[in-house]
Structure 1
Amino acid sequence: MDIDAFITAHRPVWDRLDHLVNKRSSLTGDEVDELVDLYQRVATHLSIVRSSSKDQLLVGRLSALVARARSAVTGAHTPAWRELVRFFTVSFPVVAYRARWWWLASTLAFLVVGSVMATWVAGNPEVQASIASPDEITQLVEHDFADYYSENPAASFASRVWINNAWVSAQMIIYSVVLGLPIPYVLYANAENVAVSAGLMASRDKLDIFFGLILPHGLLELTAVFLAAGVGMRLGWTVIDPGPRKRVEALAEQGRAVMSVALGLVVVLFVSGLIEAFVTPSGLPTGARIGIGVLAEVVFLAYVIVFGRRALRQNETGDVERAPDVAPTA
């Protein structure tokens, strides 16, 4: 092949493609069509040159041009940092905010059931006797309840708490595949565990110790559990009432969005685990420890409300960008 003749014949095409790539942000419809056509033609030219010529300079030039044109035609991959920023400023908070009523309902149900059950345990010696012997209750109230938070090294304890709480929250979301029906039971089981401890502590006038040890980390920890329950049940309800979209499309969108919550709660529960390991058993005054827990809770709720409401106003759903089942196709 006469490489000089080849270059002379096709240089205008290459120059035109280079021009279109450089102004890709302001192309007209006809120019976009031309860009696609020239990209395909120059890709063919590159293949011919590679197989018929040893001119590495030409191969390099055409390779770079084709790569730039491909990026203009198909779109560049979103940088990882941008995806991370979008996750924390859009995806996670908007899904949490959209599920706020389910989230609130889970919270209220837990508090009502837990309060009633704790009062019942605290005021009935027969119920207490069915749970444990008087000596065992004394051991729990005087020693075991408080020792639980300090008997292990803080770092390993934080890891164990984090994994356990992440698993509880993950269960809530996993159960959404069966319409979220087991989620109320999981909430009830957790409410029962907290209520029994609260009732036994109250029966021995140790409720101040109970709240002093539970509130620093429990506010954020339980909020994460309630959020997981809320989005899990909301996803289950989507199967029953998908809205204006097809059921499969609505379920796919909500399923992908819920995964944002699952990943976001890993971070939230990590913070909760750190508080439980390093703040709850610390020598700080009770008011200071509770204050740290309240601050963490307020910051998290404010974050969800501010970023979630803003994303909702921008019609964000928390779904991934360019979702495969809703992406435009020719």
Structure 2
Amino acid sequence: MDIDAFTDVHRAEWDRLEALTSRRTLDGAEADEMVRLYQAVATHLSTVRSVAPDPVLISRLSVLLGRARTRIAGAHEPAWRDVVRFLTVALPAALYRIRWWSVGVTAACLLVALVAGTWVATTPEGLASMGTPSSQEEYVNDAFASYYDPGVDFAAVVWTNNARIAMFCIGLGITGLFPVWVLFQNALMVGSIGGMMAAHGELGLFLQLIAPHGLLELMSIFVAGAAGLRIFWAWVDPGPLPRSRALAQEGRALVTVAIGLAIALAVSGVIEGFVTGSTLPWWLKIVVGAIALAAFWVYTIVLGRRAVQAGETGDLTADHAGDVAPVAA
């Protein structure tokens, strides 16, 4: 197909549709004409895509059809079905696609924490790095436990802080360095505090106060770091797609992860605010934390596998993401 000849034949229809979409008001005849032209131009776009995929023309017609669709059908209004689709399809698919990144990040962070904790607990130099003996005693005997103050305000503060860290890990993931730095510092801090508590004979207290909320909270931070690194890897190795398009797709999908982690961290914050510092038996607190972590992974694996097998990635639907030029693999 001669793309120039095709353009010459149909340019008048495209210009007319563009003119109609630019008007503030339309009478009945003009509205009917817009619908007819919309259908015609949609056919033109389909023809161009299948026969002569010219990127410039595809982009022009896609934008034109998007504007016309908005005028005809109105702007997209969020509905409950969108919320349901997000929670049951988009979010689990996005989490499932980075599951191995999440496992790798978790293993690396646990190793860092274990090494740091062992060093602090078993060497004089490590223990001395945690402060003076008096400050250590004060922290172990009072400050650590008193930090967990049950209540709504405490839960809100915890959630805000953790959600901010997760958003930064994903939003600045393109650097490749920020997520690694955050994850390393977080693992080092948790491991060192655990080592100090162990050195003072309070490892049990440390685990009792960390495990209820920390299982889900730390996993959420690990997943956020994994998502950030996945964005960085899309920049390093975009595969068959242009680098900008690969980044756009991964970025949109992993923003989905960011929203989901905000929800997970809200649950963790509630547990930390109302369970960790409560008078419940320690074993019941840990069971609550274990159930929350298990629910996260069951949700990711069961719903995520089903969504990915159906072709979902966690990205926006084509209707919302917009049309793109075809790319040869």
The letter of the residue matching 2:310 is Q
Which structure has the bigger radius of gyration? 1
User: May I ask how many residue pairs the two structures share in their alignment?
Assistant: 275
Gap change, CA 1:130 and 1:78, over 3 Å in 2: closer
Q: Secondary structure of 1:103's partner? A: helix
Q: Which residue of 2 aligns with 1:309?
A: 305
For the residues of structure 2 that align with 1:235 and 1:204, how far apart are their CA atoms? 42
The letter of the residue matching 1:91 is A
Are 2:266 and 1:288 aligned? no
Render the CA deviation track for 1:124-171: whole Å, top value 9, x for unaligned.
123222321111111111111000002xx6111111101110111112
Q: Which residue of 2 aligns with 1:278?
A: 274
Gap change, CA 1:271 and 1:327, over 3 Å in 2: farther
| 1:182 CA displacement | 2.4
Gap change, CA 1:68 and 1:122, over 3 Å in 2: same
Alignment of 1:1-330 (within 5 A): 74=69, 76=73, 77=76, 79-150=78-149, 154-178=151-175, 180-322=176-318, 323-326=321-324
Gap change, CA 1:139 and 1:252, over 3 Å in 2: same
Render the CA deviation track for 1:177-223: whole Å, top value 9, x for unaligned.
22x22221211100111012101110011111000000000000011
Q: Contact 1:249–1:325 at 8 Å: present in 2 too?
A: no
Gap change, CA 1:71 and 1:49, over 3 Å in 2: closer
| 1:286 CA displacement | 0.5
User: Structure 2: any 5+ residue segments left out of the alignment?
Assistant: 1-12, 40-67
User: Structure 1: any 5+ residue segments left out of the alignment?
Assistant: 1-35, 51-58
Q: Secondary structure of 2:172's partner? A: helix
| 1:87 CA displacement | 1.0
The percentage of counterpart residues that share the same residue type is 44
Render the CA deviation track for 1:223-260: whole Å, top value 9, x for unaligned.
11011111110110011111122211111111111110
TM-score after normalising by structure 1: 0.76
The letter of the residue matching 2:324 is V
For the residues of structure 2 that align with 1:296 and 1:71, how far apart are their CA atoms? 49
For the residues of structure 2 that align with 1:183 and 1:269, how far apart are their CA atoms? 17
For the residues of structure 2 that align with 1:235 and 1:48, how far apart are their CA atoms? 43
The letter of the residue matching 2:80 is W
For the residues of structure 1 that align with 2:152 and 2:37, how far apart are their CA atoms? 49
| 1:68 CA displacement | 9.0
Q: Secondary structure of 2:276's partner? A: coil
Q: Secondary structure of 1:316's partner? A: coil
Q: Over aligned residues, Cα RMSD in angstroms?
A: 2.9
